[in-house]
Amino acid sequence: ESCKLSGHVDECCNCTYQDVDRLNAALHPLLRQVVRTPFFRYFKVNIYCDCPLWPDDSMCALRACSVCECEQSEVPPTWRQLEQGGQAAEEEGSCNSNTCAAELDGKVNSTVDPDTALKLLNLKGWRGFNNPWMAEGEGDEEYLYVNLLINPERYTGYAGEHAHRIWRAIYSQSCFRSGSSDSEVSDSSSRSGGPPALSPTSLPPDWCPEKRVFYRLISGMHASISAHISANYLLNEERGQWGHNLTDFRMRLGRPELRDRIENLYFAYLFVLRAVTKAAPLLARYDYVTGFGAEEDAATAQLMKGLLTSPELASSCPMPFDEGRLWKGSDGLALREELRAAFVNITRIMDCVGCEKCKLWGKLQTLGVATALKVLFSSSDCNNALPTSPALSTLALERNEVIALVNLLERFSASIEYYRQLSAELQGVEGVE
Ligand code: FAD
């Protein structure tokens, strides 16, 4: 049972915390298997980029911060081949970064056959092309492949003012400030301490449901990062011993007054789960090809099918989140534009994270959230109409988007498990109920 969490995760849906725990107990082992497959463990990312927002002052010098990049020979062969073949078509001007899904589809189709077009779309995923919730790259970034399994998200020692400045920049986005409409990234590093500790109960009363959703998504992602740190802590550097740190957990998530952070984690989990179940028809027939062998690729597709058709999905929480209730007001379009601009800024702020491994996971998770937002809200970028859910026939997900979305769900799922385990351990130690 969920430790001291009771009631519904969100007023819109019928899922209780206990439903989520039951559901997650069934999904978590499946997700763990899925993210270990070759398709899901290689992520293409640019982590050596400069911070576009303020002078890049410090990089984390700790060993735990560094990322081990893949040897060329380790990169899935089909992806390498596609990149070499795709380069030529790209240079012919078949795609450009400002196009939305429909336009991109059309242009690619006019120059190459549909199969290649789909593969080209997959190929383009690492730049966040075709995702209106991601900042556009300049096109000259240096990307590398990273094996996520040998670069796990855990304690790195990245902390203090540098890390706080990132979180402050994120939480001080204009959409999180009451009564402001400017959407510039602000670096409020002159203020000391962390961002203001907002909680769902103390969220400003003038916040509309859409802003609450956004705030809870970011806070839930922050809570998930915290859970991974406390559960995978460097306990003894000399002996290389990693494990649960209950003192750290208590400080970050384990106290009753921080319950809103956990509630936001559960909320974020359901939001991403809704995006995954909504995109299920597309994910079920996605081409999980790596070139490591037909059997291995087929096994990945089979695992995904098992995840997407888990009976627990229908029985425990059939409607994890109801996106249809958002953007209903007369200002729906303007509001979505404001929140989109803020989220794009947040994806830029990730370039300023001063620890490679934190940046890797920060970028993966923001691309995962951007993909969930795209699945749920971005059908109408071409015609400027009010946002509605995209029709699955026009939804195209790039390879890196699929990888980020599913890994993000696994992160949130693991964090819920960590929270349950560490809470129980903490209760045991403190002898409280
Ligand atoms: P922080 O987590 O830095 O939080 C700062 C302030 O934010 C808190 O004082 C509180 O007021 C508020 N706050 C905290 N949690 C929430 C929440 N869930 N919702 C709302 N408000 C909240 N460190 C690692 O060791 N490993 C990593 O992989 C890692 N990844 C990171 C990724 C990113 C993108 C960033 C920005 C930082 C990452 N860090 C990582 C650093 C880590 O998140 C903390 O900043 C650091 O451990 C210092 O923690 P802290 O206790 O000072 O509080």
Pairwise pLDDT comparison (187 vs 294), residue with the higher score: 294
CB-side neighbour CA atoms (13 Å) of 196: 13
How far away, in angstroms, is 222 Cα from ligand 1 center? 6
pTM over cut 0.80: yes
pLDDT > 70 in the chain, percent: 77
Give nearest CA residue, ligand 1 atom 9. 194
pLDDT of residue 390: 59
* For residue 387, pLDDT beyond 70: no
Indicate the pLDDT class of residue 430, thresholds 50, 70 and 90.
Answer: confident
How far away, in angstroms, is 251 Cα from ligand 1 center? 11
Atom of ligand 1 nearest to the CA of 170: 36
Give nearest CA residue, ligand 1 atom 4. 194
DSSP-assigned beta bridge partners for residue 236:
241
Pairwise pLDDT comparison (352 vs 115), residue with the higher score: 352
* For residue 195, pLDDT beyond 70: no
Calculate mean pLDDT across residues 378-400.
64
Q: CB of 258 within 8 A of CB of 307?
A: no
pLDDT of residue 221: 98
Give nearest CA residue, ligand 1 atom 38. 358
- Which of 45, 155, 216, 226 gets mutated to test ligand 1 (max ligand atoms within 8 A of its CB)? 226
Rounded Cα distance between 131 and 414, Å, is: 26
- Which of 158, 199, 230 gets mutated to test ligand 1 (max ligand atoms within 8 A of its CB)? 158
Cβ burial of 227 (10 Å; 0-12, 13-18, 19+) is buried
Residue of 214, 212, 233 whose CA lies nearest to 366: 214
pLDDT tens-place string over residues 98-155: 333 333 333 333 333 444 444 444 444 445 457 889 987 766 677 899 999 999 999 9
Write down the residue that tokens 């070499």 correspond to.
84
Give nearest CA residue, ligand 1 atom 20. 219
* For residue 6, pLDDT beyond 80: yes
pLDDT tens-place string over residues 265-274: 999 999 999 9
Q: Which residues line ligand 1 (CB under 6 A)?
A: 153, 155-156, 158-159, 163-164, 166-167, 194-195, 197, 219, 222-223, 225-226, 229, 252, 261, 353, 357-358, 361-362
The chain-wide mean pLDDT, for the chain, equals 82
Residue of 255, 259, 232, 243 whose CA lies nearest to 430: 255
pLDDT tens-place string over residues 230-246: 999 999 999 999 999 99
Q: CB of 323 within 8 A of CB of 274?
A: yes
* For residue 372, pLDDT beyond 50: yes
pLDDT of residue 171: 93
pLDDT > 90 in the chain, percent: 56
Rounded Cα distance between 254 and 261, Å, is: 10
How far away, in angstroms, is 320 Cα from ligand 1 center? 27
pLDDT of residue 383: 46
pLDDT of residue 73: 85
How far away, in angstroms, is 83 Cα from ligand 1 center? 36
Cβ burial of 91 (10 Å; 0-12, 13-18, 19+) is exposed
Calculate mean pLDDT across residues 52-59.
74
Residues 6+ apart with CB under 8 A from 101: 130, 378, 381, 382, 390, 394, 395, 396
- Which of 65, 153, 167, 346 gets mutated to test ligand 1 (max ligand atoms within 8 A of its CB)? 167
Q: Return the structure tokens found at 58.
A: 């410090």
Q: CB of 131 within 8 A of CB of 402?
A: no
How far away, in angstroms, is 261 Cα from ligand 1 center? 12
pLDDT of residue 392: 65
How far away, in angstroms, is 108 Cα from ligand 1 center? 41
- Which of 154, 170, 358 gets mutated to test ligand 1 (max ligand atoms within 8 A of its CB)? 358
Atom of ligand 1 nearest to the CA of 156: 25
* For residue 88, pLDDT beyond 90: no
Calculate mean pLDDT across residues 209-225.
95
Using only C-alpha atoms, what is the Rg of the chain?
21
How far away, in angstroms, is 86 Cα from ligand 1 center? 39
pLDDT of residue 181: 41
How far away, in angstroms, is 245 Cα from ligand 1 center? 16
Give nearest CA residue, ligand 1 atom 8. 194
Reported in sequence order, the residue ranges of 50-120 that DSSP labels E, i.e. its strands, are none
pLDDT tens-place string over residues 66-86: 898 888 889 999 998 888 776
Beta strand 144-147 pairing with 42-45: antiparallel
Pairwise pLDDT comparison (104 vs 403), residue with the higher score: 403
How far away, in angstroms, is 388 Cα from ligand 1 center? 33
